[in-house]
Chain A
Amino acid sequence: NAGVTQTPKFRILKIGQSMTLQCTQDMNHNYMYWYRQDPGMGLKLIYYSVGAGITDKGEVPNGYNVSRSTTEDFPLRLELAAPSQTSVYFCASSYNLPGYNNEQFFGPGTRLTVL
């Protein structure tokens, strides 16, 4: 089991460029999440998905889009990158929503810099 994998590990974008952060999990989890982590701040939820074809906004969704066509994959799309999107992005998955015996498993992260 690879768990949750993310690509790329690092990326530098210019203002206005677009990119897709990839996330794949091999645990057959229904629930997947995208968080961003800024220095000195807690992880903030961007989007989440409860299954293929179903996504919803989290706390900080502006400037991002997601899709979930398969159980395994949950890509995060940045359109028109801005310096405020410089952050470390983590993808996570869980068998069920947060609660009893439903811890989230995290990927290694993508460090994004927008210049």
Chain B
Amino acid sequence: EDQVTQSPEALRLQEGESSSLNCSYTVSGLRGLFWYRQDPGKGPEFLFTLYSAGEEKEKERLKATLTKKESFLHITAPKPEDSATYLCAVPNQAGTALIFGKGTTLSVSS
């Protein structure tokens, strides 16, 4: 069964304290791994797509990396405005929709 597992469930950081979020997946024939950001009361907002092991993508203080079994979202010197829930997703076996992890809720305090 295709699965996506994210850890930790919640992460509290001080402003400027770098850390990483993990997304592990079990799906054969990966056709992309997607990272989304979700703010309270809003829909998920697309951040990155990664397609092959070793690929990296960056956006401001965020950098996403991909291996054959997992992806990391590295947050460098976070600011309070980076506080959100970060969701990871992969296409299902049929390729018809995304399977989402439960997310990591990040809180950054000043």
Interface residues of A (CB under 8 A from B): 4, 33, 35, 40-45, 48, 56, 58, 90, 92, 97-101, 103-109
Contacts and interface: CB of A to CB of B under 8 A. Distances in A.
B45 A101 contact: no
A62 to B, nearest CB: 17
A58 B93 CA distance: 12
Q: How large is the interface on B (under 10, 10 to 19, 20 to 34, 35 or more residues)?
A: 20 to 34
A97 B95 contact: yes
Given A42-B103, A90-B44, A98-B91, A104 B98 contact: yes
A4 B99 CA distance: 20
A4 B100 CA distance: 19
Contacts of B65: none
Interface of B: 4, 31-32, 34, 36, 41-46, 49, 51, 87, 89, 91-92, 95-103
A56 B103 contact: no
A105 B49 contact: no
A14 B46 CA distance: 34
Contact of B31 (A33, A42, A44, A100): A100
B44 A42 contact: no
B42 A109 contact: yes
Contacts of B42: 108-109
Nearest to B47: A103
29 contacts: A41-B102, A42-B87, A42-B100, A42-B101, A42-B102, A42-B103, A43-B44, A43-B87, A43-B89, A43-B98, A43-B100, A44-B100, A45-B98, A92-B43, A97-B95, A98-B32, A98-B95, A98-B97, A99-B32, A100-B31, A100-B32, A103-B49, A104-B34, A104-B46, A106-B36, A106-B43, A106-B45, A108-B43, A109-B43
A44 B44 CA distance: 13
